[in-house]
Each structure stands twice: as structure tokens, then as C-alpha cells.
Chain A
Amino acid sequence: MPPDEPVGSTGRLSRLRRTVEDNPPPGPFRPGFWRSPLRGPWLTAVLGSILLVGVTILFVTGLLSYAAYNPELAGNDTTPGHGLLGFYLFDWPTRPSWLYWLLQGTHVILGFVLIPVLLAKLWSVIPRLFAWPPATSVAQLLERASLLLLVGGAVFEFVTGVANIQYWYVFPGSFYALHFYGAWVFIGAFVVHVAVRFPRMVTALRSRRLRGELSTDTTHTHPEPPDPYGLVSTAPAPASISRRGVLGLVGAGSLTMFALTVGQSIGGWLRPTALLAPRGQGTGDGPNDFPVNKTASAVGITAAAAGPGWRLELRGGDAPVVLSRDQLAAVPQHTANLPIACVEGWSTGNQEWSGVRLRELAVMAGVADPASVFVESLDDGTFGSTTLRGNQVLDADSLLALRVNGVDLSLDHGFPARVIVPNNPGVHNTKWVTRMTFEA
């Protein structure tokens, strides 16, 4: 190219650019491809505002669930490399006893309830994915990269969560690490998205009255006025459903998800209503008929190992104390009504546990005011051992339970003895306990 024609070459470049901009590839890149008369800033803003509240609750309950594991204590951390992402961790309380049940039930049920909302939201903005040209400035380019983290992150978090509670371990690695760090990858993009779009969302919400939309039928449903964002169709088809119809469809989807999952978190007579949720079935095991996290056979516990030869060893004092089950049963027994609540969102509902108070065992071990106790099980796999903090040992309802609902524990529920602590994540209520090491 001759060096004396710089103006001409930039001219050619901008002409080329204009040609590309004016000639989008066929199909979804053409504005007339998207014909739904319902897409528009108002509908997107309604769905977005629901997700804004919902996803915030999911994130906070998720963080709290991690704190509930007391990851600072030895052996408890499922993501030991968390670094600054564990900045908020605090000593997990034992009261109220139903807190973990509420938080984790909310986390999982709300996750299901938000799936139809997320799908509808993504449907409402899909034309933007094919916007042409893909970006007209550096700002837009960066924002689109951020949207990949937002959408990819959202779908990733939902899919890993939904697959994990159904025991479909297809994801590439440990669920805890993927779901926890994935949430942090997602949340930055989420916060920026909310910050950038918030004014637009408020304007769009004010552009139509919700009450008006809820009383408008299909015949009277017309597209929103043309918008600068490319959401409103330039060639809208006649409406085949109203906006209230679409919101009703999404709401019915959420209601269906709620109805099919809530039973496994409440338990009792509601459990069988959780027709598709993983813990809707009963075990048919009499007083022991409530869900089992891991059966004895799954972790290789035999009736013989938990038989008459079983002993509990208490350590921490000058010399170890060894007790048989009969000796434990002779110690004053305490009864507590407590639920087991699993990270997977299901719960046993309140069961009547009876056994020896952990603080009594601490005294017997010779450590009356322990800072922690390391609990070991016959199960030496993941979550086979747990460290409980002092406040968890000293709570009056924290037990090494021998019986439940008036009968001996079943082998699946941890016979000969298991830990039950108020407001403790399910897997930290160690079953088949063999050794407890109290630390002053």
C-alpha cells in the first residue's frame, strides 16, 4: 500500500467495518429472526428482579452452609485452599437448633424454584446473544466476556447442585470445591451485571403497571415499544399467550418445583409428596424410618464390627477411658428432639434421640471444658471423622445417642452410638462412633 494514502486506507477500513455491520450472518443474527411479541425490557426486568433477590439468598445461604462445617477445625474443610474466600467464617452456633435445616432447605428448594425463572430470563434475552456486530467497543467486548461468566456460572451452579443431590457424579471433581469456587467465579459477574443494569431494570419496571399486565388477556397483548437494547422484536408475530400467561407459566413451574421438593425437607406425612426428589421415599424401618445419608453397607460397616465387641474410647485426659455399650447405657440418659439436616437439602424432621450428653463424656474423659473434640467412626472414609467445637460439645442437647424414638438405633442410623448436635450439618453428626479425643 502506498505510504502517501493513510486517509484512504482508514477510509477503506471503516467502509469494510460498515459493510460487516450492515450485513449480519443469516438466521438468529438478523433482527427479524426473533418474533415473540412478549420479549421486551419490562418482562426481562420482572424476571431479573426475581433472580436478583433469589440468587442473593442462594449465595448467602451457600456461604453460611460452608461456615456451618466449621472448616477451621482439623479435618473439617472440604476446600482447604479457600484463602481469602473464607474471610467471613465464624464459630457456628448450636442455636436455634433448626437454623441449618432452614438455611439448607431454603438453599436447595429455592434453587429448584428459581430454575424456571432462570430459564425464562435467559429466553427473554436470547436475541442479545446473537447481537450483530458482536461488540462495537472495548466496553461491550469486556461486558460480553463477563456475561459468559454470568450465564456459564449460573448454569454451572444449578447443574452441579441438581446433579449432586441426585447422586449423579458427572461433574469433573469434588462437588464441594466446584460448587463453592464456581459460586465465587459467578458472583463477581453477577454483582457487575446488577450494577450495570440496575438503572435500566428500574426504568423498565416503571414502564408498565404489573396490575395492568395481570389483567390483560392474549387478544389485547401487544409488543412493548421499540427499545434501544434489541429485546423487542422488529417483526413481532401475533401474541399466542399474554404476559400474565408467561408469568403464570413461570410461576406454575416454580410452584411445581416447590411442591415436588418441599416434602423431603419437612418430613413426616409430607415426605411422600416429594415425588421426584431424592428423599421422598420412606425406608419402612419402623421408628428408624427416616432418611439415611449413607447406609452401613455403603461404607462397609458390618453388624459384627458394631456388635458386642464394640467399645467407645474417650481420650484427652491422663489415661484413655474405654466403655462398652452397656456401660454407656448405665450413664444418665438425656432426651432431645432434633432434626438431621443434610447439605443436600433434605431433612429427617425432628426425631426423639436419647443418649449420653457430650459434655458428660468430656468430664469422664477428664477434659471438663473442652475447646474441641475429634470424633472418629468405624467408617474411615470421607466424613468418617469430624471435629466439633467446644460450644457444640457443651450444648445441653448434644448427645452421643444410643436410641431414637424409643428403640435402639438401627445399624444404618449409626448403631451402637452416634453423635447428634443441634444445628449441625448432617454429615457432622458422626455415626458408628469409636473414639472421641477431647482437647482442652
Chain B
Amino acid sequence: MRRIASGFATAYGAHPLHLLSLLASFALAGYAAVKLVPQGFVGVAVWFVGAAIVHDVVLLPLYGLVDRGLLGVWRHRRTRAEALPAAPWLNYVRLPLGLSALCLLVFLPSIFELSGDSYVSATGLSTQPYLGNWLLVTAVLFGLSALAYAVRLQRTRTRRPPTGPA
């Protein structure tokens, strides 16, 4: 029995249970996918695959590039500048920038009023405050980060006199 299983494993590349559970999951996905046919199967499939592609080849490289740019500026400054910061500032920019971008990504439909009339007519509320609110949240995030950085800078200075690069 074990020999059959190991022979199978050589040909297939994993334990028979691996195949069985994957096939079961594909069958379940197929069962549910058939129910989606009335919704317009092509549209749904495009959305399903498109969701993964948009994340993997658009969103992720985009924020990776922004971060790499920021990192480039930071490294460049670090080696060239005469007076080095007593504490590294990089992550005090990364944090509020990342959080603000997250809010923009998640609440994009509200911030850019993409819902059009459907939101306004259903809720009786206005989409107008959202852009301002996002900017307000962004301001608070950067403000808090600046405050935290100032405290860090102060503590680093009082703890040890500037003798070299941080």
C-alpha cells in the first residue's frame, strides 16, 4: 500500500491526499461557479482572474516602486548630507504615507464620488465630505508622525550627543 502511494507520489509530485483534496475543492468551486452563470459567466470570470492580476501586476509593483523611490532618496541623502539626522526619518514618512494610501484605496469610490446618484438618492447623504475627510485623515496621520519623530529626535539628542551617523 505504501509502495503504491510512493509510486504515485513520484509520478504526481505529492501525496494522494493532496490530489484528492484539490479535486474536491475544484469540484466545489465548479458547483458554485455554475450558480454564477446567470450573472454572466464571462464577466464574473474576468473579475475573478482580473482581481488577482490587477493586484499582482499593477497595485503591488506600484507601491513597491513608490517605496523604492523613497528608499532611494533616503539612502542618497544619508551618504551625501553633511549633517545626518540623529534618528532615521524614513519610516516616519512610510507609515503615514502607507496609511493614507490604504484609506485612498479602500474608500476610493466615496472619495472620488464614483457611486454617482445611487449613494445620494438611497441614503439622502452627500458624497462631498469624503475627499475633505480623507485629506483631514492624511493631515492627522502626517501630523502625528511628525510629532512622534520630533519626540524621537529629542530623545536621541539628549541620550547621546551627535557623534556620527545614526
> Would you mind naming 30 contact pairs between A and B with Cβ atoms under 8 Å apart?
A83-B35, A115-B102, A151-B56, A155-B55, A166-B107, A173-B44, A174-B39, A181-B35, A184-B29, A185-B28, A185-B32, A185-B48, A188-B26, A188-B28, A188-B29, A189-B29, A241-B94, A245-B91, A249-B98, A256-B141, A257-B106, A260-B107, A276-B103, A276-B111, A276-B137, A278-B123, A279-B123, A281-B126, A291-B123, A295-B124
In whole angstroms, what is the CA distance A241 to B71 when docked? 11
> Is A191 at the interface (CB under 8 A from chain B)?
yes
* Selected interface stretch from A8-16, A133-141, A322-330: A133-141
In whole angstroms, what is the CA distance A155 to B31 when docked? 20
> Is A122 at the interface (CB under 8 A from chain B)?
yes
Instruction: Please give the distance in Å from A261's CB to the nearest CB on chain B.
Output: 9
In whole angstroms, what is the CA distance A46 to B141 when docked? 26
Chain A residue nearest in CB terms to B11: A138
In whole angstroms, what is the CA distance A157 to B39 when docked? 16
In whole angstroms, what is the CA distance A213 to B115 when docked? 43
In whole angstroms, what is the CA distance A149 to B24 when docked? 13
Chain B residue nearest in CB terms to A291: B123
Q: Which of B33, B95, B102 is within 8 Å of A181, CB to CB?
A: B33
How many positions in chain A have a CB within 8 Å of any CB in the partner chain? 80
Chain B residue nearest in CB terms to A238: B75
In whole angstroms, what is the CA distance A253 to B104 when docked? 12
Most buried by B among A83, A149, A174: A149
> Is A331 at the interface (CB under 8 A from chain B)?
no
In whole angstroms, what is the CA distance A162 to B102 when docked? 13
B111 touches A298 (CB 8 A): no
Chain A residue nearest in CB terms to B118: A167
On chain B, which size bracket covers the interface?
A: 35 or more
B119 touches A166 (CB 8 A): yes
Which residues in A have their C-beta under 8 angstroms from that of B28?
Answer: 184-185, 187-188
Asked, given contacts A169-B118, A184-B32, whether A122 binds B60 with beta carbons under 8 Å apart, the answer is: yes
Task: In the A-B complex, list the 5 residue pairs whose CB atoms are closest, starting with the nearest.
Answer: A137-B13, A172-B43, A173-B39, A188-B25, A139-B13
Chain A residue nearest in CB terms to B29: A185
In whole angstroms, what is the CA distance A137 to B8 when docked? 12
Majority SS at the chain B contact face: helix
In whole angstroms, what is the CA distance A294 to B35 when docked? 29
Q: Mask for B41-71, Cβ within 8 A of A = 1, else 0?
A: 0011011110110111000100000000001
Q: Mask for A165-206, Cβ within 8 A of B = 1, else 0?
A: 011111111100110011011011101100110000000000
B102 touches A257 (CB 8 A): yes
Give residues of chain B (108-139) contacting chain A, Cβ–Cβ below 8 Å. 109-111, 114-115, 118-119, 121-126, 129-130, 133-134, 136-137
* Residues in B lying within 8 Å of A, measured CB to CB: 11-14, 18-19, 21-22, 24-29, 31-33, 35-36, 38-40, 43-44, 46-49, 51-52, 54-56, 60, 71, 74, 88, 90-91, 94-95, 98-99, 102-103, 106-107, 109-111, 114-115, 118-119, 121-126, 129-130, 133-134, 136-137, 141
Chain A residue nearest in CB terms to B9: A139
Q: Which of A82, A112, A167, A283 is within 8 Å of B106, CB to CB?
A: A112
Instruction: Please give the distance in Å from A292's CB to the nearest CB on chain B.
Output: 6
In whole angstroms, what is the CA distance A196 to B18 when docked? 7
Which residues in A have their C-beta under 8 angstroms from that of B115?
Answer: 166-169
In whole angstroms, what is the CA distance A116 to B121 when docked? 31
> Is A126 at the interface (CB under 8 A from chain B)?
yes
B22 touches A240 (CB 8 A): no
Q: Mask for A340-379, Cβ within 8 A of B = 1, else 0?
A: 0000000000000000000000000000000000000000
B121 touches A297 (CB 8 A): yes
In whole angstroms, what is the CA distance A151 to B49 when docked? 9
